[in-house]
Chain A
Amino acid sequence: MADLYTVNKSPFEKNSLKDAIRFSGEGASILLIEDGVYGAVSGTAAEGLVTGASGKKFYALRSDVKARGIAEDRLIDGVELVDYAGFVDLVESTDKVQAWL
């Protein structure tokens, strides 16, 4: 089974999203939390990280998206929003969790 990667920093601040995508295997799930949710916004200079990644599934924490005033229709197609309970479900359904701090 594939792993879950959490990314909590903006792609405009750190390379953690880029690195998580690069090092995660086929079928990995990548959950964007905290400032990491900026990586899920379409039309930015960083959107290619997510749109160009193949074989990965992207999630973003809904409350963190909302807290930053990001409208849901601005998210990159295919990014799925989850709440904290959904975060727990992702942890359960994947093999292990790697926090890409």
Chain B
Amino acid sequence: MKLSVQVNEGPYQHQASDTAYHFTKAALEKGHDVFRVFFYHDGVLNGTRLTTPPQDDRNIVNRWVELAEKYDLDLVLCVAAAQRRGIVDDGEAERNGKDATNIAPKFRISGLGQLIEAAIQSDRLVVFGD
């Protein structure tokens, strides 16, 4: 089965980022195809490489990166949500005159059309958030 996942909530807020991660991991381990994970609203905060949680806490951002490296996941941050919250890649830094970037590896910034495409291309879209 081909799945896509939408994450609407920031990490370390409630539990949606954790549930989305564990669900995605379980689906991949069962051999399902995850077409895309789309991060929307505060969910884009899952994609900053500058987070430094305490060492005895889970690192939600790195966990996504490692999963993406293992399974070649497509992790997409909504551009409008990212701009509002200061998540920046090279292209956004140049376009908006920012002096730094903070996007985590394996994540990319793109438009809402990516969510629509994921919904069309996948057998199921599973949404996590508040």
Contacts and interface: CB of A to CB of B under 8 A. Distances in A.
A9 B30 CA distance: 27
A66 interface: no
A88 B32 contact: yes
Tell me if A's interface is mostly helix, strand, loop or mixed.
helix
Given A8-B15, A8-B16, A34-B15, A87 B23 contact: yes
B127 interface: yes
Interface in A13-71: 33-35, 61, 63-64
A84 B25 contact: yes
Interface residues of B, number: 22
Interface string B24-41: 011101101000000000
Contacts of A64: 15
A85 interface: yes
A99 B127 contact: yes
B26 A84 contact: yes
B123 to A, nearest CB: 8
Contacts of B3: 91
Interface residues of A, number: 20
A92 B32 CA distance: 10
B129 interface: yes
A64 B14 CA distance: 12
A61 to B, nearest CB: 8
Interface of B: 1, 3, 8, 14-16, 19, 22-23, 25-27, 29-30, 32, 124-130
Which A-B residue pairs are the 3 nearest by beta carbons?
A: A84-B26, A99-B127, A34-B15
